[in-house]
Structure 1
Amino acid sequence: MPRCPSRPIRRSRRLGSLSAYLSGAVVMVLAFGACSLERQPRIVVPDGIPPGRGVAIPPIDINAPGRSAEQLRDWAAGFADSIGIGTTALEAYGYAAAVMAEVRPECGIGWTTIAGIGSVESNHGTYGGSRVAADGQVTPEIRGIPLDGRPGVAEIPDTDGAAMDGDAEYDRAMGPLQFIPETWQRWGVDANGDGVADPDNIDDASLTAALYLCARGGDLTTPEGWQTALLAYNQSVEYLSLVRDRASAYSVGVRP
């Protein structure tokens, strides 16, 4: 017997002018037997900041040898498909939040916030046909446009001699979380246990993002702290709103 179609998700009001990104889906309903959409519960994506923390992360050994994020395989596999995030990427987000819960518990960053940024920046490491390998490595490498001061773009002359981003004239954002070389050189960490801090590895990039956000925002369980952190990551209210919306969707188990 066919299953009843799912009820459309009710989108709550959004910050800023983001209707182009967040138009509601049009659902065509076929009458299968006695199915009734009125009996299906609505899933409400909440407004406000900070976004919800989502499915709780089980206890893990953050210092386990090798790729410690693999301890979250069962956790991630349980709902990765329903929210549209690859299992390896979701493990990386969860591991980053687990590390911060242990080393910076006062920060309170949720995996949903890191996932919201990963979604906006690179569609979780899959932008332009890139893929995330089992060890977290993203290939082909994702590189942003030259930061050459064109309208709407910051001007950042080369800071790494093209060693990291391949551009000897201007810096470019790198990897699934889109760090510029100067920021990565200061904040980049090794999260997957291979001895290298690599912006093109989603484990390394996720933990680095979490560290950076906590350092900038302090207590991310407060609206003020969360907003400060996101605006430090990208000085755009529209960007903050989009990350918030996607993180909030993840927090209630649905695709943005």
Structure 2
Amino acid sequence: MSARIGRVSGCGCAVVVSAILAVVLVVAVAAWMVSATGPGVKSRQLQPVPYEVPPAQPAPVALIDVHAPGRTADALDEWAQPLADESRIPAQALRAYGNAELIAKEAWPACHLRWSTLAGIGYVETRHGTYNGNWFKPSRLQEDGTPDPAIVGIALNGTNGTANIADSDGGRIDGDSTYDRAVGPMQFIPQSWQRFGSDANGDGVADPHQIDDAAMGAAALLCAGGRDLSTSEGWTAAIMSYNASDAYVRSVGMAANSYAVPQPATS
């Protein structure tokens, strides 16, 4: 389901490219240092994170009424804010993951999905709705939970290590009427969204670009087929159903285990 996201194309001069990459690296490192030590951010030593499958249990989600009208994830703000500070997950994304866990607990009680697994996928796919392939113009989650700029992956045309998936939605979701593309914070392709798409923010529309809906769609996909994510086999099978790659499974697992500490994912 995951697809590579298109990167900024370079110029044809190796010297210029090298210079640009050097500048980008310096800027990226500087930005990371500022984000890690800037005002309001506590300096901390990251702990070694053992790899466990299923991942270690994260902080429990505060109980809210997921049947209330409107955007129920907003009721998790008090729960999410301290965890957001510790994990560096945007609070809005964290609320979406927690909301999806609570809905899944009612819908599929035998699934045992935890928010940290959704967060692990969100981190690997798009850094929680912020990575779009353009280092110079990263996305940000807007107030309504959609990334700006929108996150749309490269065409799944069989090149660049992708599968060959012809258009399945007339370009309605991904803007491409020739090939499918993965979209949104959790990188759904249109045909998967048609099966698992959900409305979790109460606006009556199942939108893969909206973080609450995308997290709930991911929960539906992971829990499909009666999987039990409290077992090693069930958890691994669920992540493989999202992206059939051993490396992907390990990356999601490492991120999910980091969030259980809680601390930022680093891999």
Do Structure 1 and Structure 2 share a fold, with TM-score over 0.5?
yes
Q: Which residue number in structure 2 is paired with residue 223 of structure 1?
A: 232
Shift of 1:216: 4.5
Q: What is the distance in 2 between the residues matched to 1:140 and 1:53?
A: 33
- Indicate if the aligned counterparts of 1:135 and 1:192 stay in contact, CA closer than 8 A: no
- Counterpart amino acid of residue 71 in structure 2: R
Q: Which residue number in structure 2 is paired with residue 113 of structure 1?
A: 117
Shift of 1:225: 0.3
Alpha-carbon distance change, 41 to 179 in structure 1, aligned in 2, over 3 angstroms: closer
Structural RMSD (CA): 1.7
- Counterpart amino acid of residue 223 in structure 2: C
- Counterpart amino acid of residue 98 in structure 2: G
Q: Which residue number in structure 2 is paired with residue 43 of structure 1?
A: 47
- Counterpart amino acid of residue 78 in structure 1: P
- Indicate if the aligned counterparts of 2:110 and 2:226 stay in contact, CA closer than 8 A: no
Q: What is the distance in 2 between the residues matched to 1:42 and 1:63?
A: 38
What is the TM-score normalised by the length of structure 1?
A: 0.82
Shift of 1:77: 0.3
1:157 aligns with 2:166: yes
- Counterpart amino acid of residue 183 in structure 2: M
Report how many aligned residue pairs link the two structures.
Answer: 218
1:254 aligns with 2:258: no
- Map 1:13-32 → 2, pairs under 5 A: none
- Indicate if the aligned counterparts of 1:147 and 1:157 stay in contact, CA closer than 8 A: yes
Q: What is the distance in 2 between the residues matched to 1:202 and 1:96?
A: 10
Q: Which residue number in structure 1 is paired with residue 181 of structure 2?
A: 172
Where in structure 1 do 4 or more consecutive aligned residues deviate above 6 Å?
none
Shift of 1:142: 0.4
Give the alignment partner of residue 80 of structure 1, picking from 76, 80, 84: 84
Shift of 1:135: 2.7
- Indicate if the aligned counterparts of 1:217 and 1:227 stay in contact, CA closer than 8 A: no
Identical aligned residues as a percent? 49
Give the alignment partner of residue 122 of structure 1, picking from 97, 119, 126: 126
CA deviation string 1:8-48 (max 9, x = no partner): xxxxxxxxxxxxxxxxxxxxxxxxxxxxxxxx998341212
Shift of 1:214: 0.6
- Indicate if the aligned counterparts of 2:83 and 2:262 stay in contact, CA closer than 8 A: yes
1:142 aligns with 2:151: yes
Shift of 1:134: 2.6
- Indicate if the aligned counterparts of 1:216 and 1:232 stay in contact, CA closer than 8 A: no
Alpha-carbon distance change, 53 to 174 in structure 1, aligned in 2, over 3 angstroms: same
- Counterpart amino acid of residue 197 in structure 1: A
Q: What is the distance in 2 between the residues matched to 1:151 and 1:75?
A: 41
- Counterpart amino acid of residue 67 in structure 2: N
- SS of the equivalent of 2:125 reads helix
What is the TM-score normalised by the length of structure 2?
A: 0.78
1:102 aligns with 2:106: yes
More helix by proportion, 1 or 2?
2
1:54 aligns with 2:58: yes
- Counterpart amino acid of residue 103 in structure 1: A
- Counterpart amino acid of residue 64 in structure 1: A
Q: Which residue number in structure 2 is paired with residue 65 of structure 1?
A: 69
- Indicate if the aligned counterparts of 2:46 and 2:263 stay in contact, CA closer than 8 A: no
Shift of 1:84: 1.1
Q: What is the distance in 1 between the residues matched to 2:48 and 2:106?
A: 31
Give the alignment partner of residue 184 of structure 1, picking from 193, 214, 218: 193
Runs of at least 5 residues in structure 2 that lack an aligned partner in the other structure: 1-43, 133-137
- Indicate if the aligned counterparts of 2:100 and 2:215 stay in contact, CA closer than 8 A: yes
- SS of the equivalent of 2:171 reads coil
- Counterpart amino acid of residue 77 in structure 1: Q
Q: Which residue number in structure 1 is paired with residue 96 of structure 2?
A: 92
Q: Which residue number in structure 2 is paired with residue 17 of structure 1?
A: none
- SS of the equivalent of 1:114 reads helix
Q: Which residue number in structure 2 is paired with residue 205 of structure 1?
A: 214
